[in-house]
Chain A
Amino acid sequence: MTPILEVQSVNKRFGGLKALDDVNLTVMEGTVHAIIGPNGAGKSTLLNCFVGRLVPDTGTVTFAGQSLIGKKPHEINQAGVSRVFQTPEIFEDLTVLENVMIPALAQRDGAFRLHGWHPLSREAEIRDKAERALADVAMADRRNMPSGSLSRGDKRRLEMAMCLVQEPRLLLLDEPTAGMARADTNATIDLLKRIGSERNITKVVIEHDMHVVFSLADRISVLAQGHVIVEDAPENIKGNAKVQEAYLGGAHL
């Protein structure tokens, strides 16, 4: 197995707050790497450093051999990294299908193309691809709805389709099942497992739901107060005293 994402000695301060404190992390290609930890531990901040929303104060982030530091968000995405955000980021004024066609076009045409003359209706391939991605998240029947009117859980599934349609090499998921009903959570687990085996997408998942974490993860990093306190296989994390301490003040996971 080869590492696809390597994080070395990343530090990030917000004023007096040390949000990331010497974080080291290696994600192997084709695996699911879960990041868990209490609220405010710095999990989302870490993902922000991967996608170019934040630049670490010090340290390096390397994806597939190239440094991501200083790269713009669209360049990082074009390199093969897609992200589902903690609060859904979709194009609320556009229809569900259009939301998925845009990332598909971005993947095919690059960061900019002045394709102003041919009708969108001729993009049959892009449309089919988008429809398949919507079918993957069981939203094909809602393709013509304005996406702003979707429920929060559906927005998140739409965002997942928007990422999947790009066939990324690395998929970052920030609490993908938060606020979902049990049935939807299980459907999401199934989906993530399925695309894992079919398409060899490496995934980094931030998640609070331990059921999700333990059904998906090959490896788990535990973050507390900006620091990775443990990184290990799931079976070793469950009984780890340090984790229980950080997480629940000693209660069992």
Chain B
Amino acid sequence: MNTKTSDTLLLIVFSIAVLAGPVILAPFGAGYPDLLQKFAIYGIFAIGFNILFGLTGYLSFGHAAFLGVGSYAAVWMFKLLSMNIIPAVIFSVIVAGLFSLVIGFISLRRSGIYFSILTLAFAQMCYNLAYSVLTPITNGETGLQITLSDPRILDAAAEGQAPASNLFGLDMISTWETSLAGMTLQFNMGFYVCALILILSFWISMRLFRSPFGMMLKAVKSNQNRMSYTGLDTKPYTLAAFVISGMFAGLAGGLLAAMDPLAGAERMQWTASGEVVLMTILGGAGTLLGPVLGAGLIKYFENIFSAINDSTLHGVFAFLPDGLNNAVSAVLGLFVGEGWHLTLGLIFMLIVTFLPGGLIEGAQRIGRLFTSRSKADPQSGEAQSRPAPAE
């Protein structure tokens, strides 16, 4: 099977899995709109981040700034122009693109740890500015929200009612419910908008990966010296990757605001920048599918684990004697609720130690266990040296 066929197959399987998300994830308690939207949006964020980090190896610690900027841009579009999400999302991508052009241009004067620190510094600067001098634009700690008195030139809001973000009249919050085998399935408009954009993003990233440009970005990661003695200017290549990934972050930020029309500075905090790094590495940096899986896993744990509290634990271990129940619940209590970051940290440590290539490497190892038994022909040596199609 050649790369093209397997890529098409991967795209089809990916699309089906994403579109069937509300059904597939319902048994895991993750089939509700709010979480499904987050899966898709952070998947987009991680896909974009991976174009920079996975391909060129430049580790940005400030990408949440572009996410936040995208959210603000979208809410401003809602306030000034229309509650239709199209202009809002387009504007967030443009604004984030301009921001990343400036920040990238300066940060890319350095590489390695210095580049990471510069991006981190810029992001913290944006975060602090949003709370201080930029309050007229960001509305400071309250966060930017839509109000009834907003001008909204294109659509006159219904009297006395907070308008909902929509796509030509289809409200993002509208949800169609049905039940299947005792589970409630929720098909939400907003999720399907995000899902389609996620599929589109995945396709774009696949094209970039398979293009001459993608190969040049891999060359940046591999040997910048050789690149310049080969007649290639590494600067515009890294800057292009930086801006593209910044635009994806802006798209994600715009979609967050499109699903829930408000924007706050906490979206730009360094923990949010760190999160997308974790997502990408956890799933498998430099692979196509990995970042989406990593984003899903982290958002799943964040929502499920952080919802568990002491009384849930006591309920689960009610079959144990009281003293033992208390002890077990106390220990496990450290890892859930507020402490879910501890769980995340442990999982991250385990994966980086035992599967440096992330979840995708794990999947490939399992896959190899099966294939190496079925075909032991001598030709497979050459086939194996190519990246597996499932990347």
Contacts and interface: CB of A to CB of B under 8 A. Distances in A.
A177 interface: no
B226 A91 contact: yes
A121 B3 contact: yes
A74 B233 contact: yes
A89 B225 CA distance: 8
A113 B228 CA distance: 14
A101 B211 CA distance: 12
A73 B222 contact: no
B110 interface: no
Contact of A94 (B210, B222, B240): B222
A103 B222 contact: no
B114 interface: no
Contacts of A113: 212-213
A111 B215 contact: no
Contacts of A73: 228-229
A102 B219 CA distance: 8
A112 B294 CA distance: 32
B382 interface: yes
A93 interface: yes
A123 B212 contact: yes
A85 B225 CA distance: 11
A107 B213 contact: no
Chain A interface: which size bin? Answer: 35 or more
Interface string B209-247: 011111110110111011111111100110010000000
Contacts, number: 111
A175 interface: no
Looking at chain B's contact residues, the main secondary structure is helix
A83 B4 CA distance: 35
Tell me which of B208, B226, B227, B230 has the highest count of chain A C-beta atoms within 10 A of its own C-beta. B230
Nearest to B213: A116
A126 B2 CA distance: 19
A221 interface: no
B212 A103 contact: no
Nearest to B57: A93
B207 A93 contact: no
Contact of A144 (B221, B233, B386): B386
B387 to A, nearest CB: 9
B210 A111 contact: no
Nearest to A172: B229
B210 A74 contact: no
Contact of B233 (A51, A103, A111, A114): A111
Given A92-B223, A94-B218, A95-B385, A162 B230 contact: yes
Contacts of B240: 114, 116
A98 interface: yes
Given A103-B231, A144-B382, A94 B215 contact: yes
Interface in B369-391: 382, 385-386
A189 B230 CA distance: 23
Interface string A92-131: 1111001001110111011111111111110100000000
A119 B211 contact: yes
Nearest to A148: B222
A106 B225 CA distance: 14
A166 B232 CA distance: 12
A112 B223 contact: no
Nearest to A107: B231
Given A90-B223, A90-B226, A93-B218, A116 B233 contact: no
Interface in A28-77: 51, 72-74, 77
Nearest to A84: B229
A111 to B, nearest CB: 4
A118 B211 contact: yes
A91 B223 contact: yes
Contacts of A116: 207-208, 211-214, 240
15 contacts: A73-B229, A74-B233, A77-B229, A94-B215, A94-B222, A102-B215, A102-B227, A105-B216, A107-B231, A112-B237, A116-B213, A119-B4, A119-B207, A121-B2, A166-B230
Given A83-B229, A105-B212, A114-B240, 7 more contacts: A78-B231, A85-B229, A89-B223, A94-B215, A112-B236, A112-B237, A119-B211
